[in-house]
Amino acid sequence: MNRRKPNVIAIVLGGGKGTRLYPLTMDRAKPAVPFAGKYRLVDIPISNCINSGIKKIYILTQFNSASLHNHISNTYIFDTFSKGFVEILAAEQTIKSETWYEGTADAVRKNLRHFRDQEADYFMILSGDQLYRMNLMDMLNRHIDSKAEFSIAAKPISRAQATGLGIIGCDDKGIITSFIEKPAPDVDITSYKVGQKFMKESLGVSVTPENEYLASMGIYIFNSKTMEEVLDNKKTDFGKEIIPQEIKKRRAAAYLFDGFWEDIGTVKAFYETNLDLASINPMFNFYDEEMPIYTHRRHLPATKINFCNISNSLTSEGSIITNAYIVNSIIGVRTLIESGASLDGVYCMGASRYETEEEKELNAKKGIPNIGIGRGTIIRRAIIDQNARIGDGCRIGIDDIPRQEGDFPMYSIHDGIIVINKNAVIKNGTVM
């Protein structure tokens, strides 16, 4: 007899303010931030779900959700025979609760009434700001075989990496026995080292100083009954409160993952992860036909490149680039780059529309640049958000001048990375 296919619900957490990604989250939810030229961050977990055969997906959000709503509604449309959906659950006032989501666990708790209608066997909790490719059904099968009440995806790491992550201790069968959050370098965590047997059976490799500890990836699977029980309290966060507490009382299993995984919740991590995609051998491969990353079909024309020198870069569809020098950069959809421009280490998110000739004439009368990058402008180590207007002859990030970190009306500087705000107007000749 064939075993009934388990009913699985995926829950993508994306409701936070995204303060670490500001100003990219100034007027959009974190999962809606443009990524890799043509995608949004939320496309990563959703694609992992779809590629794994999981097609009941909820996105939990509460801040600046309009852009995310628009992307989801235009992208993830399942036919009536698949019984699949991608649905956004924004924070809402109810008779029982008038408050916003107060943490990851609280967000799930306040939506249990919606989830119960699906009569799920298992819940998958996923983050909305991580870059990875995982067959989530492999993790589910490991969870079922281990007879655990909940499971945690774990990434083998070194001791030096352990200081910034939650560290899992487990026995030779992968059953979790302990958990410690971000242990300082001087804290002895030798007892948390992963066993040779479990490592060999899970990944087929030996334990080395580079992989001797297991870090929680913030990806969880709960039995439906367990989910109800662990949320029957007022605790607000999975990673900080629920997981450490429940490991002591319940059978929890570790699922080892050895592929590329990156938390891209900060401006620096976001910038570096994007730019790596343009390298010769990027750590994450978007060119996997078996497990593609899905996004909105824009029906744009191919990018037009006229007399350019472009290397180690990605160019998205619908762009027009003329007589430009571009290296180590990502050019997003509908980007217009004028003659003589030079970009090095730049992520340009592009534009949401093309300006008409009439609009360009009006811009000239108003003395403001067109959307895109103007003639002779030089930009280094920067993120250019959508619909930014950068004039002719600007010098951004190249001159040896003092630069104050912080947020300003048209731009921000974080970790030495200049971020030009969405819809910003940078006038001709600006030095920044």
Write down the domain spans for the chain: 8-276, 304-426
CA-to-CA distance for 144 and 141, rounded, in angstroms?
Answer: 5
Q: Give me the pLDDT at residue 94, please.
A: 64
Q: What angle do CA 301, 303, 305 make, to 5 degrees?
A: 145
Mean pLDDT estimate for the chain: 92
- The answer to whether the CB of 183 falls within 8 A of the CB of 259 is no
When pLDDT is averaged across residues 137-166 and rounded to a whole number, the result is 94
| Nearest Cα to Cα of residue 330 among 308, 318, 315, 340 | 315
Note the pLDDT tens digit of each residue in 360-378.
999 999 999 999 999 999 9
DSSP-derived secondary structure for 123-137: EEEEESSEEE---HH
- CA–CA distance from 118 to each of 9, 121, 372 (Å)? 8, 9, 46
Beta strands in 224-279, from DSSP E residues, in sequence order: 252-256, 261-263
Residues of the chain above pLDDT 70, percent: 97
CB burial of residue 303 (10 Å; 0-12, 13-18, 19+): middle
When pLDDT is averaged across residues 125-154 and rounded to a whole number, the result is 95
- Domain 304-426: CATH superfamily is Hexapeptide repeat proteins (2.160.10.10)
Q: Assign 96 a pLDDT band (cuts: 50, 70, 90).
A: low
When pLDDT is averaged across residues 412-426 and rounded to a whole number, the result is 96
Q: Assign 19 a pLDDT band (cuts: 50, 70, 90).
A: confident
pLDDT score of 393 more than 70: yes
pLDDT score of 67 more than 90: no
When pLDDT is averaged across residues 81-107 and rounded to a whole number, the result is 78
Q: What angle do CA 311, 400, 407 make, to 5 degrees?
A: 85
Q: Phi and psi for 75 in degrees, rounded to 5?
A: -115, -55
User: Which residues, in sequence order, are CB contacts of 264 under 8 Å at separation 6+?
Assistant: 35, 41, 129, 130, 131, 270, 273
The CA-based diameter of the chain, rounded to the nearest angstrom, is 75
CA-to-CA distance for 104 and 5, rounded, in angstroms?
Answer: 28
Q: How many CA atoms lie within 13 A of 2 on its CB side?
A: 3
Note the pLDDT tens digit of each residue in 315-351.
999 999 999 999 999 999 999 999 999 999 999 999 9
Cis peptide before 45 (omega within 30 of 0): no
Q: Give me the pLDDT at residue 95, please.
A: 59
Q: Phi and psi for 250 in degrees, rounded to 5?
A: -130, 160
Q: Give me the pLDDT at residue 358, please.
A: 96
CA-to-CA distance for 48 and 72, rounded, in angstroms?
Answer: 15
Q: Assign 2 a pLDDT band (cuts: 50, 70, 90).
A: low
What is the CATH T-level fold of the domain 8-276, as seen in this structure? Spore Coat Polysaccharide Biosynthesis Protein SpsA; Chain A (3.90.550)
Q: Assign 1 a pLDDT band (cuts: 50, 70, 90).
A: very low
- The answer to whether the CB of 92 falls within 8 A of the CB of 83 is no
pLDDT score of 44 more than 60: yes
When pLDDT is averaged across residues 409-429 and rounded to a whole number, the result is 96
Question: How many Cβ atoms sit within 10 Å of the Cβ of residue 62?
Answer: 17
More confident call, 400 vs 398: 398
More confident call, 164 vs 141: 141
Helix (H), strand (E) at residue 197: helix 196-203
Q: Assign 139 a pLDDT band (cuts: 50, 70, 90).
A: very high
Beta strands 166-170 and 304-306 are unpaired
Helix (H), strand (E) at residue 202: helix 196-203
Beta strands 252-256 and 56-61 are unpaired
Enter the tokens of residue 39: 């995608």
Q: Give me the pLDDT at residue 64, please.
A: 77
Q: Give me the pLDDT at residue 99, please.
A: 73
- CA–CA distance from 413 to each of 19, 35, 408 (Å)? 14, 19, 8
More confident call, 17 vs 36: 36
Enter the tokens of residue 351: 């534009």
Q: How many CA atoms lie within 13 A of 374 on its CB side?
A: 21
CA-to-CA distance for 89 and 57, rounded, in angstroms?
Answer: 10
Lowest mean pLDDT among 52-56, 253-257, 314-318, 396-400: 396-400
The pTM assigned to this predicted structure is 0.92
DSSP-derived secondary structure for 160-191: HHHTTSEEEEE-TT-BEEEEEES--TTS--GG
